Amino acid sequence: MNKLDFIGPQFRKKLTKVLKDVDKGIDMLYEIATHDEKTGLFNQKFFKSVLSLELDKARRGKKLSLIMLDIDNFKKINDNYGHLAGDKILKQLANLLKEKIRKSDIASRFGGEEFLIMLPNATKEKAKMVAERLRKSVQSAGLKPRITISLGVSEYKKADTSNNLIKKADAALYRAKKKGRNRVEV
């Protein structure tokens, strides 16, 4: 006997609809809580929670690398073309990132025009290859206005914390910008 057999078909139909609506609401709340509304990528909070889990695996011997990237001279885009054009570029870049990384990689908007990509089971050499492929893809994508990106790569080393791993990627990104932008540094 089904739990709902004691109620009439009318009520069963209404209850089924309510339960479907609740499921949709839960899905919507999950999306809001874990994704950046402008780009559709994961947000910083979700990224950090997954990074914590991946760090546990890395401490047991798995490889883990990060790529931090930033749109070169993004302020000029907003100043010259307006914030709506800047938002459009952020969305286009996010879509390109989703297209070019593995399903197991986690791309997130980290803030402003900065993005972080987590590459589980990847050495810094592999991450550098991915970063270079992303750089070339953005450069040749034909986005309007045309943009370039700078990227920094870090790899988990024994005793790294999540903040330390992010700081290493950020420092590499800073070196890429200092050396002329539109480049990858490790």
Which sequence positions are flagged as catalytic? 113
Q: Cα-flanking dihedrals φ and ψ of residue 2, to 5°?
A: -75, 145
Residues in the chain: 186
Which tokens in the block code for residue 163? 């903040």
Amino acid at position 166, single letter: I
Question: Of the candidates 113, 105, 30, which has an alpha carbon nearest to the alpha carbon of residue 67?
Answer: 105
If 0-12 CB within 10 Å is exposed, 13-18 middle and 19+ buried, where does residue 10 land?
Answer: exposed
